[in-house]
Amino acid sequence: MKKNTLTQNDNRTWFKLDNAAKIFPGQNSATWSNIIRTSVNLKENIDPEILSAALKRCLPRFPAIAVQIKRGFFWYYFEPNRKEPIVKPDINNPCVRIKYNENNRFLFRIFYYKNRISLEAFHALTDGYGCAVFLSTVTAEYLRIKGYDIPCGGMVLDINEPPKASELEDSFAKYATSKVKAKRPALPTYHRTGEKLPKHISIMTSGYIPVEKIKSISKSHGVTITEYLASVLVMVHIKLQKEENLRKQKEVSIQIPVNCRNLFDSGTLRNFSVCYSVRIDPNLGEYTFEEILRQVSLYLRYTNNKKHLQSMFAANMGLEKNPIMRIIPLIIKDLAIGISFSLTAEHTTTSLLTNLGKICVPEKMADYIDSYIFMPSPGKVNGGRVGVVSFGNTMTVTFTNIYNNTAIERDFFRFLVKQGIPVKIESNRNL
């Protein structure tokens, strides 16, 4: 039987970006960078020297993250980064653009603030699941160095084991077997606009919610937590657009990333998530919240299956496999991606709601953790992008907003409170 581990002889000196990652370097600009931020709040303040030691110990276990990006003639590629990562005090402008020649050329950052450890990773490296595994493993090693007995398990990997070959797998390429290619939505959608904040500044607002309460209310409506929260986000945008008294209203579309590991046999720690877009047209008439819930739920349940996902993989792989694309120099690919993104950006999606799900760590480790926070980078035109994560009995819902106007997150949390769901708010700005 073939071993699923990397040996000294098969360690890679370089490897390709996975299919999802290939587009991100071309989109990385002064005004936008696809960054994922995951944080863990411990029950004691952070010792930065111990955190730095824990990070250095863990990094060899994650060869897909301990890399630097290089330019080839046709494509970007990754090389192992032998330098030491830097641990820094947290900053006021999270998710700022990744510059490839900074931070010793690593494509992630580790910050600390009081009792919080934060990881920011360029999306070309991994998705939310990969970030959660990396951060949880570093946190476990930090607690061990502090003298606590922390076993491995769940999202905490054993750093004394060699990395598994499956963790470096491009699962998109493996499962893109569909002969049908899914079509992407192209119609423009509604966006809440207004006065933008200065570049690289955003408003971050987190709502801490009891998991059992939101689960109970979602279940009473016959929907999942993700379906319930996405429906609230749709409703808020429909209401805000209606208040603008537009002659003709635009569709409201919520992009919802899906962790494909839940349906496919994949142990990859690279990207393996795709996005569904739930769309509702307010021009068809008035929608009650129950109608929105039903439409969102039916759409997600109809599309969230292996066959539909494989058609989405095939569509994404089609561009990469195109013979013409293969011979176009990287400088032209970057220019084309940059122009395309500047013209379309998020124009086909009103907002984004990404639910990382439940963080699973060993019970002994959970005793030292208060909560997790998960947030996407601010949008280019989206007014409020939402990250959701659960740990223990606490769910954290975090908005990132590039506009001065905070009506989206304000109305979102107010609705939850009116439904009997208690919310504790934490923000870098008063709403």
- Side chain identity at residue 46, one-letter code: I
Tokens of 153: 């398990």
CB 51 within 8 A of CB 118: no
Domain boundary among 145, 168, 191: 168
DSSP letter string over 261-288? GGTS----SS--EEEEEEEE-GGG----
Q: What is the pLDDT of residue 199?
A: 80
Q: Is 368 left (phi over 0), alpha (psi -120 to 50) or beta?
A: alpha
Residues 212 and 159 in one domain: no
**Could you tell me if residue 137 is inside a domain?**
yes
Q: What is the CATH number of the domain that holds 34?
A: 3.30.559.10
Domain membership of residue 182 (yes or no) is no
285: left (phi over 0), alpha (psi -120 to 50) or beta: left
E strand or H helix at 242: helix 225-243
Q: Are residues 312 and 237 in the same domain?
A: yes
181 lies in some domain: no
The DSSP code sequence of 176-217 is: ---SS-PPPP-S-B-----PBPPTT--EEEEEEEEHHHHHHH
Q: Which residue, of 117, 147, 168, is where some domain finishes?
A: 168
Tell whether 190 is covered by a domain.
no
Q: Report, in angstroms and rounded to the nearest whole number, the Rg of the chain calculated over CA atoms.
A: 21
- Find the domain containing 103 and state its range: 15-168
Pair (246, 355) in one structural domain:
yes
Q: In this predicted structure, what is the pLDDT of residue 67?
A: 97
- Verify that 158 and 212 share a domain, yes or no: no
Q: Distance between CA atoms of 56 and 282, rounded to whole angstroms?
A: 52
In a domain, 174, yes or no: no
pLDDT of residue 3: 55
CATH number at residue 348: 3.30.559.30
Is 219 found in the same domain as 163?
A: no
- Best CA proximity match to 226, nearest among 165, 178, 293: 293
222 plus 364 within the same structural domain: yes
The answer to whether residue 9 sits within a structural domain is no
pLDDT of residue 11: 62
Whether 302 is in a domain gets the answer yes
Whether residue 3 lies inside any domain: the answer is no
CA separation for the pair 307, 309 (Å, rounded): 5
* Exposed / middle / buried, residue 201 (Cβ in 10 Å: 0-12, 13-18, 19+): middle
Q: Tell me what pLDDT residue 423 has.
A: 98
Tally of domains within the chain: 2
Question: Is the dihedral angle over the CA atoms 107, 384, 199, 250 positive or is it negative?
Answer: positive
**Are 107 and 208 within one domain?**
no
Look at residue 365 and give its three-state secondary structure. helix
Same domain, 149 and 258: no
pLDDT in tens, the chain (431 residues): 445 665 444 566 888 999 989 888 888 877 777 899 999 999 999 999 999 999 999 999 999 999 999 999 888 999 999 999 999 999 888 888 888 999 999 999 999 999 999 999 999 999 999 999 999 999 999 999 999 999 999 999 999 999 999 999 999 999 999 888 888 777 889 988 888 888 878 889 999 999 999 999 999 999 999 999 999 999 999 999 999 888 889 999 999 999 999 999 999 999 999 999 999 999 999 999 999 999 999 999 999 999 999 999 998 887 777 777 777 888 888 887 777 777 676 788 999 999 999 999 999 999 999 999 999 988 888 878 999 999 999 999 999 998 888 999 999 999 999 999 999 999 987 65
Q: Are residues 42 and 159 in the same domain?
A: yes
CA pair distance 358, 396, nearest whole angstrom: 11
Phi, psi values for residue 156, rounded to 5°: -105, 110
**Are residues 315 and 246 part of one domain?**
yes
Domain shared by 327 and 378, yes or no? yes
Is the Cα torsion angle 21, 22, 23, 29 positive or negative in sign? Answer: positive
| 149 & 207 share domain | no
